[in-house]
Structure formats: C-alpha cells, structure tokens
Chain A
Amino acid sequence: DSGVTQTPKHLITATGQRVTLRCSPRSGDLSVYWYQQSLDQGLQFLIQYYNGEERAKGNILERFSAQQFPDLHSELNLSSLELGDSALYFCASSVMDRGYEQYFGPGTRLTVT
C-alpha cells in the first residue's frame, strides 16, 4: 500500500458526461501528479500541483481540469467525455515538487460508453 488513495476505483459513464476523480496524497507529501494510461500504452503526464499551486502541465486536454485543495487532496475533472478518454487514471504524490520518487495510487479505471 503506497499510502495514496484514489476514488472511485471504477467508473462507467456515457459520452458527453462529466466525472470527478479524487486523490488523497500520502501524509506529508505536498506534490500531486495526475497521469493517464490507455490500454497497452505508457504513462501520459497530465498535470502537477505543489502545495495548492499548479507546477507543470503535460498533455492535458482543455476538457480536463484539476485542482489541489488546502488539505492537499486533489480532484481531476473530465468533461464532455469521449470514448477515447477511457483509460486508467493514476494519481501520484511526492514530498517535493521534483527530484523525489512518486508514490502511485491504485488508479481509477474510467470506461466511457
């Protein structure tokens, strides 16, 4: 158990809908990262927050947004969902904003039908 929690574990929704994925980092970690992993593909970095502020942005679509709250938990919002958004979404946390290992949550498997 990495100490990073993600909810929900599974999510099935229809095209055009909006969903929110939630992540709680390990105790003491200030940085949160979001990744997308499609079937048989590598990790695509989406976005990083550090102590409530956005630190880095990767290949995140405009339909997606995220935030980190004062209690350091983070939410990833996915809207106007398309079939191609079906993937495993990981949250990770680390103690600092760079240079340290990231600990990953179990992931949320999103299926868009």
Chain B
Amino acid sequence: AQKVTQAQTEISVVEKEDVTLDCVYETRDTTYYLFWYKQPPSGELVFLIRRNSFDEQNEISGRYSWNFQKSTSSFNFTITASQVVDSAVYFCALSENSNYQLIWGAGTKLIIKP
C-alpha cells in the first residue's frame, strides 16, 4: 500500500547548522511523483518541489537541496546554513499514477533557534 513516512516528528537546531529532513515512501507504481511543502507558523502551505520517479537527479535551490534515491525509496530534504525563517512544519507527499489522492506524510516540525 502507498505510504509516506516522516519519522522525525520534531527537529531543533541552532541557526547556521545544516539539517536534513527524512522522507521514506512506499509505492507499487513505477510512475509516481514526490513533493515537499512548507507550512510556516503563519499557516499557509507553500509548495517547494516536485520530482518524478524517472528523474533521480538531485536538485539544489539556494540553501535547499533534495536527494532522491529510488534504491532506498527516500526523498530527503536538506537545508544548509539554516535560518530562523526556516522554522516551519515540512510535509513530504506522494502522488501515484494509479491514484488521484495525494498521500501525505505526518510532517516534521523544524525549529531553528537563534
């Protein structure tokens, strides 16, 4: 069955540290898509990245980077030189070609202390 696991419920680091948020997924589909979303304390949900199952290239966007490894069914998210503004809940999600519903992880609350 399809599933997304974000085992880290909460992570707390000091500003400027690097931090990695883990995401492990389960699917039987060969075509699927993975996403990361950010929900800051203000409450809105912000789309960060979409990755399809055929593209295992890592992606970097400023201080954000994503590591997609099909061999371990993981799609991890790293923030380099974290800042207080990175404090938020981060959600990983899975979309399968055979399923309309987006499967969400439980989220990881990231706290960046000054």
Interface of A toward B, CB cutoff 8 Å: 2, 33, 42-43, 45, 48, 50, 55-56, 58, 88, 90, 92, 97-104, 106-107
Contacts and interface: CB of A to CB of B under 8 A. Distances in A.
Interface string B80-101: 0000000000010001110111
B113 interface: no
Interface residues of B, number: 22
Given A42-B106, A42-B107, A43-B91, A101 B47 contact: yes
A7 to B, nearest CB: 15
Contact of B44 (A98, A99, A107): A107
Contact of A56 (B35, B47, B91, B100): B100
B68 to A, nearest CB: 15
A107 B43 contact: yes
A42 B107 CA distance: 7
> Which of A42, A100, A106 neighbours the largest number of chain B CB atoms within 10 Å of its CB?
A42
Contacts of A106: 43-44
Given A42-B91, A42-B104, A98-B96, 20 more contacts: A2-B44, A42-B106, A42-B107, A43-B45, A43-B91, A45-B102, A50-B100, A88-B43, A99-B95, A99-B97, A100-B50, A100-B95, A101-B35, A101-B47, A101-B50, A102-B102, A103-B47, A104-B37, A104-B46, A104-B47
Interface string B32-68: 0101010000011111001010000000000000000
B97 to A, nearest CB: 7
A9 to B, nearest CB: 10
A51 B91 CA distance: 27
A58 B101 contact: yes
B25 to A, nearest CB: 15
A50 B101 CA distance: 12
Nearest to B52: A99
12 contacts: A2-B44, A42-B91, A42-B104, A42-B105, A43-B104, A45-B101, A48-B101, A58-B101, A90-B45, A92-B45, A101-B50, A102-B102
